[in-house]
């Protein structure tokens, strides 16, 4: 089955639901059983890792359908849904570490994940060390300690878009006996098949392209077979279960991913390439561009790109001029998150979320999420923005 077909057929059960095309939302806490024996039986089936319905928090047919669909799409063993992407990141980490451990985290990691490591993990006696985004496998090997249990990466980074050689890093990590977790939100389960590149735990902010419509918070972690039991037990013990409506929206979003993503990619690349030709722009960070330093890895490992990238303005443009550019864009909403059908713009403060390498001597970074609008309308909108930028800078 090809991916497009998987998106249409996985996670459905009309026969079990009166012919309904989609599995309905199960609003459930208590699950009633006909007898004490039936109750014992269903709980022992659960203990054998069967996807039975025992209690709302643990999962319903809809939760399992969502989790299994995402897992199969990316090539993992099983998956766990979380109430947010941030919950998925911390859930993946907590399923591996114990007090006294050391973990290695890439410097371009999603900000709230960094915060989780620097606060909660630290309090629990786990030491986090950040490493440079362009690290080579030998240098990473040198950072591994006997108590290093996890390496957590993101590629490309979601603000600065550096690419990492994930298979080469995975090799080093596994030789050491540690696990490799990856925030794969940018790649999505469609465009980066993390498990065939050596990842043990793949994390997604399903809030982004999986939900795809900016109307729900949802996360998911997909595990390989070895990492699954700890992931499952940790999530269930913590009580980090996703709500039924959000899971429904996640599974619904999956149905159209293979139509939405190519459009995000195509329009994103067109805008990125157009930006390269602007005199105001000193650099465009998009691994799908042949000129990008991460392009070779992207081309080797990824099946596509999403609509998120960034560009850097010449240092001569000050904050007031940048605000003139951003504030009056017609089609780009000013706000965080991404992966919905609509275009967004943000001006991330990168310096504050870096520790392994300095972020110095850069102009303002502007991050764009290219939505499903007509791409020429978007380019015209940006063109007018550059006029305002130049006028304001004088
Ligand atoms: C948004 C995001 C998250 C967190 O997802 P939420 O659903 O907003 O909690 C994690 N990782 C990356 C790369 C993200 O962009």
Q: What string of DSSP letters covers 142-159?
A: HH--TTEEEEEEESS-TT
Domains and CATH numbers, the chain: 3-254 (3.40.640.10), 258-393 (3.90.1150.10)
Q: Which two tokens stand for residue 46?
A: 């659960």
- Tell me, using a 6 A CB cutoff, whether residue 82 lines ligand 1: no
* Ligand 1 neighbour 63 (Cβ under 6 A): no
Calculate how far, in angstroms, residue 86's C-alpha sits from the geometric centre of ligand 1. Answer: 6
Q: Which of 193, 208, 285, 354 is flagged as catalytic?
A: 208
Provide the pLDDT for residue 136.
Answer: 97
pLDDT recorded at residue 352: 87
DSSP alpha helix (H) spans, 10-60 = 36-47
Q: How far apart are CA 366 and CA 77, in angstroms?
A: 37
Q: Which of 111, 155, 207 most suits a substitution to test ligand 1, by most atoms within 8 Å of the C-beta?
A: 207
Which residue's CA is the closest to the ligand 1 atom numbered 12? 110
217 lines ligand 1 (CB under 6 A): yes
The Å distance, Cα 215 to ligand 1 centre, comes to: 14
Which pairing describes strands 308-313 and 365-369: parallel, antiparallel, or unpaired?
antiparallel
Q: Of 57, 252, 278, 388, which residue is the catalytic one?
A: 57
Say if ligand 1 is within 6 A of residue 158 CB: yes
Return the ligand 1 atom nearest residue 185 CA.
13
pLDDT at 394: 84
Contact between 258 and 190 under an 8 Å Cβ cutoff? The reply is yes
Q: Residue 166 CB: number of other CB atoms within 10 A?
A: 22
CA of 35 to the centre of ligand 1 (A): 43
Question: What pLDDT shows up at residue 237?
Answer: 95
- Summarised one tens digit per residue, pLDDT across range 204-252 is 999 999 999 999 999 999 999 999 999 999 999 999 999 999 999 999 9
Give the pTM.
0.97
Could you tell me the two tokens for 377?
Answer: 């309308």
Annotated active-site residue 183? The verdict is: yes
Quick one: pLDDT at residue 241? 94
Q: Collect all residues with Cβ–Cβ distance below 8 Å to 329 and sequence separation of at least 6.
A: 345, 381, 382, 385
- The three-class DSSP label of residue 309 is strand
> Which spans in the chain are helix H?
3-9, 36-47, 61-74, 85-94, 111-116, 122-123, 137-143, 166-175, 188-191, 228-238, 244-255, 257-276, 295-301, 319-327, 375-393
Percent helix, strand and coil across the chain, each to the nearest 5: 40, 15, 45
Ligand 1 centre to CA of 24 (Å) is 26
* C-alpha–C-alpha distance, residues 342 and 52, integer Å: 38
Pocket lining: 159 vs ligand 1, CB cutoff 6 Å:
no
Active site residue 200: no
Q: Which residues of the chain have pLDDT under 50?
A: none
Q: How far apart are CA 297 and CA 8, in angstroms?
A: 30
236 contacts: CB under 8 Å, gap ≥ 6: 57, 58
């Amino acid at each position: 089955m090809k991916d497009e077909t998987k998106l249409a057929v996985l996670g459905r059960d009309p026969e079990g639901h009166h012919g309904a095309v989609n599995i309905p939302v199960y609003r459930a806490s208590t699950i009633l059983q006909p007898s004490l024996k039936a109750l014992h039986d269903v709980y022992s089936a659960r203990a054998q890792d069967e996807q039975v319905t025992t209690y709302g928090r643990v999962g319903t047919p809809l939760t399992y359908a969502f989790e299994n669909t995402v897992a199969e799409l990316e090539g993992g063993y099983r998956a766990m849904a979380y109430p947010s992407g941030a919950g998925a990141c911390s859930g993946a980490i907590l399923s591996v570490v114990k007090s006294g451990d050391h973990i290695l985290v890439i410097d371009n990691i999603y900000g709230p994940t960094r915060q989780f490591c620097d606060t909660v993990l630290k309090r629990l006696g786990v030491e986090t060390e950040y490493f440079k985004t362009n690290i080579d496998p030998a240098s990473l090997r040198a950072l591994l300690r006997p108590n290093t249990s996890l390496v957590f990466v993101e590629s490309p980074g979601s603000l600065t878009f550096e690419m990492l050689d994930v298979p080469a890093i995975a090799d080093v990590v596994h030789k050491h006996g540690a696990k490799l977790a990856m925030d794969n939100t940018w790649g999505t389960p469609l465009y980066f098949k993390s498990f065939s590149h050596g990842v043990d735990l793949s994390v997604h902010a399903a809030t982004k392209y999986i939900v795809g419509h900016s109307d729900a918070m949802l996360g998911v972690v997909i595990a390989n077979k070895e990492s699954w039991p700890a992931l499952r037990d940790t999530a269930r013990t913590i009580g980090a279960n996703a709500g039924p409506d959000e899971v429904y929206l996640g599974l619904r979003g999956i149905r159209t991913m293979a139509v939405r993503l190519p459009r995000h990619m195509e329009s994103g690349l067109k805008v990125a390439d157009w930006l390269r030709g602007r005199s105001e722009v000193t650099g465009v960070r998009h691994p799908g561009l042949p000129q990008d330093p991460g392009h070779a890895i992207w081309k080797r490992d990824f099946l596509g790109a999403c609509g998120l990238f960034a560009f850097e303005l010449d240092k001569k443009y000050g904050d007031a001029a940048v605000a003139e550019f951003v504030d009056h864009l017609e089609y780009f909403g000013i706000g965080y998150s991404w992966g919905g059908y609509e275009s967004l713009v943000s001006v991330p403060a990168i310096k504050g979320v870096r520790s392994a390498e300095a972020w110095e001597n850069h102009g303002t970074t502007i991050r764009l999420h290219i939505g499903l609008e007509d791409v020429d309308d978007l380019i015209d909108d940006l063109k007018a923005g550059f006029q305002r930028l130049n006028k304001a800078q004088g």
